[in-house]
A and B are shown apart, each in its own frame.
Chain A
Amino acid sequence: MSRIIGIDVGGTNTNAAFVQDGNLIAIASCPTNHQDLLSTTTTVLERIASNIPHPEEQSLRLHLSTTLTTNAIMEGRGEPAAVIITHGPGVNPTDLEFPFPSFPVAGAIDHRGRETEPLNAEEVRQTLQRIRRNGIRALAVVGKFSVRNPSHELEIEELVRHEFPEFNAVTLGHRLSGRLNFPRRVVTAFLNASIFRLQAEFASMVKGISGRYGIQDPIFLLKADGGTMYLPESLVRPLETVLSGPAASIMGALALGEYSESHTAITLDIGGTTTEIAVLVKGEPLGERDGAVIANYRTLVPAFFTRSVGLGGDSQIRWSDGSLQIGPEREGPPVALGGPCLTPTDAVIVLEDVPLGDVKKARVELERVGREAGLAAEELARRIIAAFCEKAVREIGLVLKYLNNIPVYTVSEVLAPRELKPEKLIGMGGPAGYFLPKIAAAMGIDYQVLPCAEAANAIGAAVSRPTVAINLRADTALGKLVVPELDLMEDIQRAMLFDVRKARRMALEKAADFAVRTGAYQEAPEIEIGDEEVFNVVRGFYTAGKIFSLKAQVRPGINRVKIPYAWVQYGKKE
Chain B
Amino acid sequence: MKRAGKRLGLVFFPAFDWAISADHPEREERLLYTRDQIVEEGLLDLPGLVEFKPEIANEQDIQRAHICIPDVKSVCTKSHLVAAGGTITAAHKVMNREVDRAFALLRPPGHHAMRLVHGSRGFCTINNEAIIIEHLRHTYGTRMKIAVVDTDAHHADGSQDIYYNDPDVLHICLHQDGRTLYPGTGAVNELGGPGAYALTLNLPLPPQSGDSEMLYGLEQFVLPVLADFKPDIIINAAGQDNHYSDPLTNMNVTARGYARLTELLQPDIVVLEGGYSIEGALPYVNVGIILALAGLDYTTVQEPGPGPAEAPAAVKEAVRRNVGFLQEVWQRRRKIDLDEVFGPGPFYKRQRHIYYDTDEILEKQQEEIRRCEECSGYRVIISAAAKQRRAGKMVAAVIIPWHACKSCRKGAEEAFERLKREGQLELVYLQDVEKDCYNTVPSISV
A residues with a Cβ closer than 8 A to B are: 89-93, 95-97, 108, 110-112, 116-117, 144-145, 180-184, 290, 298, 405-412, 414-415, 533, 535-538, 540-543, 547
The answer to whether B33 touches A411 (Cβ under 8 A) is: no
Question: Is the CB of B352 closer than 8 A to any CB of chain A?
Answer: no
The answer to whether B36 touches A111 (Cβ under 8 A) is: yes
| Contacts beyond the supplied A407-B53, A535-B29: 11 A-B pairs with Cβ under 8 Å | A89-B301, A90-B40, A91-B291, A95-B1, A183-B1, A183-B41, A407-B54, A410-B17, A411-B15, A535-B16, A543-B23
CB contacts (< 8 Å) of A542 on chain B: these are 23
Q: Shortest beta-carbon distance, B439 to chain A, in Å?
A: 29
Q: Mark B264-304, 1 if CB is under 8 A from A, else 0.
A: 00000000000000010001100100010000110111111
Question: Is the CB of B226 closer than 8 A to any CB of chain A?
Answer: no
Given A110-B304, A181-B45, A410-B15, verify A405-B53 contact (CB < 8 Å). yes
Question: Is the CB of B144 closer than 8 A to any CB of chain A?
Answer: no
Given A95-B297, A411-B82, A535-B32, verify A144-B40 contact (CB < 8 Å). yes
Q: Mark B1-40, 1 if CB is under 8 A from A, else 0.
A: 1100000000111111110001100011100110111011
Q: Shortest beta-carbon distance, A357 to chain B, in Å?
A: 43
The answer to whether A535 touches B28 (Cβ under 8 A) is: yes
The answer to whether B304 touches A415 (Cβ under 8 A) is: no
Complex A-B: 23 CB contacts under 8 Å: A90-B287, A90-B301, A96-B2, A111-B37, A112-B33, A112-B279, A116-B305, A180-B40, A183-B42, A290-B44, A407-B12, A407-B13, A407-B51, A407-B54, A409-B35, A411-B17, A411-B77, A414-B54, A414-B82, A415-B78, A535-B29, A536-B22, A538-B27
Given A91-B296, A116-B304, verify A411-B18 contact (CB < 8 Å). yes
The answer to whether A412 touches B41 (Cβ under 8 A) is: no
Given A181-B42, A405-B53, verify A412-B17 contact (CB < 8 Å). yes
Residue of A182, A409, A543 near B41 (CB, 8 A) is A182
**Number of chain B interface residues as a range:** 35 or more
Q: Shortest beta-carbon distance, A447 to chain B, in Å?
A: 30
The answer to whether B279 touches A111 (Cβ under 8 A) is: yes
Report how far A536 CA is from B17 CA in the complex, Å: 11
Q: Shortest beta-carbon distance, B228 to chain A, in Å?
A: 35
Report how far A409 CA is from B15 CA in the complex, Å: 6
B window 308-336: CB within 8 A of A: none
Report how far A533 CA is from B17 CA in the complex, Å: 10
CB contacts (< 8 Å) of A93 on chain B: these are 300
**Which applies to chain B's interface (DSSP): helix, strand, loop or mixed?**
loop
Report how far A80 CA is from B297 CA in the complex, Å: 29
Q: Which of chain B's residues has its CB closest to A144's CB?
A: B40
CB contacts (< 8 Å) of A97 on chain B: these are 1-2
The answer to whether B304 touches A95 (Cβ under 8 A) is: no
Q: Shortest beta-carbon distance, B312 to chain A, in Å?
A: 28
The answer to whether A91 touches B287 (Cβ under 8 A) is: yes
The answer to whether B302 touches A89 (Cβ under 8 A) is: yes
Report how far A91 CA is from B286 CA in the complex, Å: 12
Question: Is the CB of B216 closer than 8 A to any CB of chain A?
Answer: no
CB contacts (< 8 Å) of B287 on chain A: these are 90-91
CB contacts (< 8 Å) of A96 on chain B: these are 1-2, 42
Q: Shortest beta-carbon distance, A183 to chain B, in Å?
A: 4
Report how far A319 CA is from B152 CA in the complex, Å: 58
Report how far A24 CA is from B304 CA in the complex, Å: 60
The answer to whether B39 touches A538 (Cβ under 8 A) is: no
Most chain B CB neighbours (cut-off 10 Å) among A92, A182, A412, A415: A92
Report how far A415 CA is from B56 CA in the complex, Å: 8
Most chain A CB neighbours (cut-off 10 Å) among B22, B40, B51: B40
Q: Shortest beta-carbon distance, A254 to chain B, in Å?
A: 29
CB contacts (< 8 Å) of B1 on chain A: these are 91, 95-97, 183
B window 237-260: CB within 8 A of A: 247
CB contacts (< 8 Å) of B41 on chain A: these are 90-91, 144, 182-183
The answer to whether A182 touches B42 (Cβ under 8 A) is: yes
**Which 3 pairs show the lowest CB-CB distances between chains A and B?**
A183-B42, A116-B304, A95-B2
B window 75-124: CB within 8 A of A: 77-79, 82
CB contacts (< 8 Å) of B23 on chain A: these are 538, 541-543
Q: Which of chain B's residues has its CB closest to A412's CB?
A: B17
Residue of A90, A414, A415, A538 near B29 (CB, 8 A) is A538
Report how far A474 CA is from B316 CA in the complex, Å: 45
CB contacts (< 8 Å) of B54 on chain A: these are 407, 414
Report how far A410 CA is from B42 CA in the complex, Å: 21
Given A95-B1, A181-B39, verify A89-B29 contact (CB < 8 Å). no
Question: Is the CB of B182 closer than 8 A to any CB of chain A?
Answer: no
Question: Is the CB of B188 closer than 8 A to any CB of chain A?
Answer: no
Given A111-B37, A111-B279, verify A414-B32 contact (CB < 8 Å). no
Question: Is the CB of B52 closer than 8 A to any CB of chain A?
Answer: yes
Report how far A184 CA is from B279 CA in the complex, Å: 23
